[in-house]
Copies of this chain bind each other. A is one copy, B any other.
Amino acid sequence: MATRTGRSQRRTEALSRERIVEAAVELLDAVGEDGLTFRTLTERLATGPGAIYWHVANKGELLGAATDAVVAAALAVEPAGSPDAPQDGIRAVALGLFDAIEEHPWLATQLATQISHSPWGPVAPRLFETIGRQVRALGVPEAGWFTATSALMHYILGAAGQNAANTMSARTLGPDTDRAQFLDAVSTAWEQLDPDDYPFTRAVADQVRGHDDREQFLAGIDLVLAGVTALHLTNG
């Protein structure tokens, strides 16, 4: 009668750091950040906590490794050949991260945590390098590399995370609630804010309705890119 969730049989393959990280990612995707515990993880891997601690120092390191693995996979898809428009390279990287965060909603919070708890860890440099190469390909002079790359990085992480939050919220409202319905709900909620305290937000509420979020995300990228071009007189 005891319900066997997943693969709780005796394990055949040997344990390894990669298998543990892989299981952690699957668990994060399936049950979210709060659902990943050493209990659920050991059950899934059919082992004990001590075995996991043999391969991984602690939970923080495990979350870091899971984050890095997903980010690395997302950035690896980046097309090698540069397209005719140099800005398409950045758009591709940005959309890759956008999709990854949407597919793994826990990624948004984890990226913020990783970057702010250990900026010297593997995640931050990986992101910085990938985005930075596209900035360089854009023809930005070296003096502007740091500013342009970090502006793009912060916008991408923030906007994609915000968007994943919207997707999650829509799911919470009901499994059949789609994005349009949710944006409609947000729009309506904003329109009901106090007119004295929130005149701007109320005024903008209507714009949110009917917006395609991917398009909106790219509009933000283009805005930052316009700033890069304006300040650095890139490819005239």
Q: Interface digits, A149-192 against B, CB 8 Å rule (1 contact, 0 not)?
A: 11101110111011011101100000000000000001001100
B226 in contact with A165 (CB, 8 Å) = no
Chain A residues touching B, majority SS = helix
- Shortest CB distance A233–B (Å): 11
Contact with B along A79-123 (1 / 0, CB 8 A): 000000000000000000000000000001100110111011000
Task: State whether B162 touches A116 (Cβ < 8 A).
Answer: yes
- A133 in contact (CB, < 8 A): yes
Cβ contacts under 8 Å, A117 to chain B: 109, 165
Given B154, B225, B231, which contacts A162 in the complex, CB threshold below 8 Å? B154
Q: How far is the CA of A71 from the CA of B201 in the complex (A)?
A: 17
Are A136 and B200 touching (Cβ within 8 A)? yes
Q: Cβ of A66 < 8 Å from any Cβ of B?
A: no
What are the residues of chain B within 8 A of A145 when measuring CB–CB?
200, 203-204, 207
Say whether, besides A155-B154, A190-B125, A207 and B165 are in contact (CB < 8 Å). no
Report which of B149, B169, B199 forms a contact with A204, defined as CB distance below 8 A.
B149
**In the complex, residue of chain B having the shortest beta-carbon distance to the beta carbon of A208:** B146
- Which range holds the interface residue count of chain A? 35 or more
Distance from A225 Cβ to chain B, minimum over Cβ atoms (Å): 7
A235 to chain B, nearest CB (A): 14
Flag if A116 contacts B200 (CB, 8 Å). no
Which residue on chain B has the smallest CB distance to residue A113? B109
Chain B residue contacts of A199, Cβ below 8 A: 129, 133
- Tell me, rounded to whole Å, the shortest Cβ–Cβ distance linking A108 to chain B: 5
Contact of A132 among B128, B154, B201 (CB under 8 A): B201
Residues of chain A at the chain B interface (Cβ within 8 Å): 108-109, 112-113, 115-117, 119-120, 125, 128-129, 132-133, 136, 142-143, 145-151, 153-155, 157-159, 161-162, 164-166, 168-169, 186, 189-190, 193, 197-201, 203-204, 207-208, 211, 216, 219-220, 222-231
